[in-house]
Amino acid sequence: MRTKRIVKPCLGMFLLLLATAVPSTPAQAHKVMVFAYQEGGTVYTDGYFADGKKAQDSLVEVFEADGAKLLEGKTDGNGLFSFPVPDVPEIRIVLTASMGHRAECTLKKESDAAATDAVKKDTPAAVPQDAAAVGEDRIRAIVSEELDRKIGPLAREVALLHQEKGPSLTDIIGGIGYIIGIMGLLMYFKARRRE
Amino acid sequence: MHISEGICSPPVLAAGMVIAAAGAAYGMKKIDTESIPKVGVLSSAFFVASLIHVPIGPTSVHLVLNGLMGLLLGWAAFPAIMIALLLQGVLFQYGGLTSLGVNTVNMALPAVICCCLFRGMIRGGDIKKTALAGFACGFVSLTLSIAFVALTLLLTQKGFLVTVQVVLAAHIPVMVIEGIVTAFALVFLKKVKPEILEVGT
């Protein structure tokens, strides 16, 4: 009995040591998700696993709605990847992590983003002829720049809120219920056949 | 470990479906009315195990338990794992419907192999031998599963071979934990309800 009492804590310590000794074990056994949002003239994609770990160094491919590939890249250490908003109405973003994990999401071009783009293109070419028109253009550019700066963190927060979370306890319990139900059905049919 | 939709090529998916269907059909035949609750309980355990991530240190792990299922269910592990994977796919988009066959084979085939390898070791009343068999079973089945997943990916996209060793090495802690949990579960069952361990393949 005494040896048993020592063995269990030792085992626990061993497990803990083992787990901490492997600092960057890729959490590849989990589901991967990708989330994209648009801010200013840039699309930001965020790749992460169901347990909250970031999908580092994963391939991100961006497709047009009809399937033509627009661009591709790799996520950084924080699972992030960004690229300028392409000039198409809708893009499909596909993230491929290791061990056969893949996630995708679609992003529609926001209408105001087009306006921002247009304004940004306009600003450098500010060689004024008509004073009033220039004033309006410049004000628009400044306002949109300021708005971007102010709304940026907010937009990021909203994006975070939209992120999928892993399954909740209710989901899991519901799944167990399904399994019990299926087994009940199986039992019913097996029992009927025997009669 | 769940291969998502759109990763594997159609022939690989089809082959997975066929093997999984055959395994499940054979497993269903092996299940008698008395063992249905056991299949249900283990199917639930498998279903829950891969959803609950236990944070340990900087990363998190989850159990797979396919070794335990193999030892307790034999071929019935096929339908049990298939049902659990189907629900995970439908409810949480873990894996996917098209890749259900491939995923089932990758998890259930190692379970059946381990059942054949280690079943003899748990027959006797020797607790130490049972624990050893449990550890080996958990370790080997997970190793095989990861190797199978890697092989499946290799059949679709070349150039993955280099990372296979890295992936296997990275999962060694999980394999060890899986082995320890399986060993504890088996020893517990052996003491409390030894008749549950008497399975025909």
Give one DSSP letter per residue of B120-165, joined into a string: GGGSSS-HHHHHHHHHHHHHHHHHHHHHHHHHHHHHHSTT-HHHHH
Among A51, A50, A182, A13, residue whose Cα is nearest residue B80:
A182
A101: in domain: yes
A96–B1 CB contact, under 8 Å: no
A174: in domain: no
pTM over 0.80: no
A9: in domain: no
Domain interval for residue A68: 32-169
Contact residues on chain A for B172, CB-CB shorter than 8 A: 22
Domains of chain B, each with CATH number or no CATH: 10-197 (1.10.1760.20)
Contact residues on chain B for A102, CB-CB shorter than 8 A: 4-7
Kind of pairing, strands A80-84 and A32-39? unpaired
Contact residues on chain B for A100, CB-CB shorter than 8 A: 2-4, 7-8, 149, 152-153
Distance CA B62, CA B101 (A): 22
A25: in domain: no
B53-98 pLDDT tens trace:
776 666 667 788 999 999 999 999 999 999 999 998 888 878 888 8
Lowest model confidence (mean pLDDT) among A144-153, A155-164, A180-189, B2-11:
A155-164
- Is 80 exceeded by the pLDDT of residue A101? no
A174–B52 CB contact, under 8 Å: no
A15-62 pLDDT tens trace:
544 444 443 333 344 677 888 887 777 888 888 877 677 787 788 888
Domain count, chain A: 1
Residue B1 binned pLDDT confidence (cut-offs 50, 70, 90): low
Please give the ipTM for the structure prediction: 0.75
Task: State the CATH number of the domain containing residue A104.
Answer: 2.60.40.3080
